Chains A and B, each alone.
Chain A
Amino acid sequence: MRPIILATACLFTTIAAVAGQPQQERERAWTAPAAADSRQNPLPSQPGILAGGKKVFHQRCSVCHGEDGTGSNRGPNLMTVRVQGQSDGALFWKISSGNTRTGMPGFSFLPEAQRWQLVMHLRAGKE
């Protein structure tokens, strides 16, 4: 029994050490693959679709990125040039994939249309 407890303690110590990596290091090199980067938003820009995107953003994203997408102490500002300068395809890929190192959850469980609605909402927020 004792070796198991010891091994478990070692495992958790190692995990805690890795979890303590600086945020900057964890965000490094999070880029969409070329095929994903070039994808276009297939949804037409209509008020109903945009309103749906706003609702999904409120439900899924606002707790970290703020109601207006300008960030909070839990997540970065999405209205910056660094984010808005990315293609629709790259944003879609990042919303879908997430990044376990930065704590950004993946939303691939949402229907594709809803993820594109989120991209549309992000673009609308910039204007």
Chain B
Amino acid sequence: MSVRRYLAVSLLTICPVSVASAQERPYFVTYDHYLEERRSLEIAVATTTGVPKRDQHKYTAPWLELEYGVTGWWTSELYLEGVTTRGDGHAFTGWRFENRFRPLKSEHRLNPVLYVEYENINEASRIQKEIVGAGSVEFEPIDELKEEHAHELEGKLILSSAVRGWNIAENFIMEKNLSESEGVEFGYAVGVSRMLGSLARGSSCRFCAENFIVGAELYGGLGSTEEFARAEQRHYLAPAVAWRLGDRTSVKASAGFGLTEASDRYLVRFGFAYEFPVGRR
């Protein structure tokens, strides 16, 4: 059974369970302060397609995301990721395990969330869930890159606010490759978004404004403790939209535009998420 068919069958199998509120957000890189609901599981599939500036091969990096609300202030996520490159084969590129902790009980003007992630990936990884350090994506053959393993520890300080219907989120990222004696790499992500529409209509509607969230995110690398390397940094500006298809499902898309010479020309991303409750309160 192909991976695509397996995912489709899995999603159809879990469809009949009861309603859960999908906390759809349009961001792919930026995190806000809304955690997964307690005892709810979100299954998401997404892809990053990169269009390089020069003659390198286009690539598509799909990933599967399992996000679980352990408590009201603790969310865990597991990622499985891969890559396929036109004319250069494909590979499984590893897994990531992340945890987000929201220390404050209620909502404030600025809501901090602490993020810790362990990554067991290889150098062929191209999902670019975050961008740190400097230097463009490596374009050596996939078969060579997948043999170079990396164990990385990543931390983020997430700050997020709800202001007059807008969400404004800022992420400060630090990453250390535990497999190499290189410095700590830095990155950032900033996002703004808002739900369209105001009052909810009484009837159910798929295309009305209240089902759409629009926004934009800006993200990139900021060098490392060893070198700032401004000329080699990658930065992207990405308008994004999320569409709530039903009570449990949402899709989102973004088109990232490379802002520097080292950036790819475009990063196009799509995602589909399905959320459902598991267990008691």
Q: Do A and B bind each other?
A: yes
Main secondary structure of the interface of B (DSSP, over half): loop
Pick the residue among A74, A99, A102, A117 that contacts B39 (CB under 8 A). A74
* Residue interface bits B108-128, CB-to-A below 8 A is 1, else 0: 000000001010000000000
Does any Cβ of A come within 8 Å of B70's Cβ? yes
Are A100 and B200 in contact (CB-based, < 8 A)? no
Q: Provided the pairs A55-B204, A103-B281, A109-B34 are in contact, do residues A15 and B72 lie with their beta carbons within 8 angstroms?
A: no
Are A52 and B178 in contact (CB-based, < 8 A)? no
Give every chain B residue within 8 A of A75 (Cβ-Cβ). Answer: 281
Does any Cβ of B come within 8 Å of A84's Cβ? no
Give every chain A residue within 8 A of B153 (Cβ-Cβ). Answer: 4
- Which residue, A53, A60, A111, has most C-beta atoms of chain B within 10 A? A111
Give every chain A residue within 8 A of B39 (Cβ-Cβ). Answer: 74, 103
Give every chain B residue within 8 A of A103 (Cβ-Cβ). Answer: 37-39, 69, 71-72, 281
A102 vs B39: C-alpha distance in the bound complex, in angstroms?
A: 12
Pick the residue among B32, B71, B277 that contacts A63 (CB under 8 A). B277
> Can you report 10 A-B residue pairs in the complex whose CB atoms are below 8 A from each other?
A8-B116, A58-B247, A63-B18, A72-B281, A74-B280, A103-B69, A105-B21, A105-B72, A109-B34, A111-B165
Residues of B within 8 A of A (CB): 18-21, 23, 25, 32, 34-35, 37-39, 69-74, 101-102, 104-107, 116, 118, 151, 153, 162, 165, 167, 178, 195, 197-204, 210, 213, 247, 277, 280-281
Residues of A within 8 A of B (CB): 1, 4, 8, 11, 15, 19, 30, 43, 47-56, 58-64, 72-75, 96-106, 108-114, 117
